[in-house]
């Protein structure tokens, strides 16, 4: 089995979020409108509904080196 890599101190994960157009994506917008601050290492892909989240998307994200997947809806 592959040894887990050591995590460097200043390491920050790359997070990909899948958000429902109607709720979580709107919530991400509201966070901006309210000028809430959070780390920039998260990118959002808008889906018409989180029901559209295909397991392939999650696997592909990890395969390509994304460190975490967040799904909200």
Binding site for another protein (CB under 8 A): 14, 16, 21-23, 25-26, 28-38, 40-41, 43-49, 51-54, 56-57, 60-61, 64-66
Q: How far is the CB of 51 from another protein (least distance, A)?
A: 4
Q: How far is the CB of 9 from another protein (least distance, A)?
A: 18
Q: How far is the CB of 67 from another protein (least distance, A)?
A: 10
DSSP states of 6-59: PPPTT----EEEEEETTTHHHHHHHHHHTT----S-EEEEEES-GGG--HHHHH
């Amino acid at each position: 089995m592959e040894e887990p890599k050591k995590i460097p101190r200043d390491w920050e994960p790359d997070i990909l979020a899948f958000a429902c157009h109607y709720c979580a994506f709107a919530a991400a917008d509201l966070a901006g409108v309210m000028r809430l601050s959070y780390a920039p290492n998260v990118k959002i892909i808008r889906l018409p509904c989180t029901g559209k989240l295909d397991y392939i998307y999650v696997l592909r994200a990890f395969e390509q080196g994304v460190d975490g997947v967040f799904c909200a809806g």
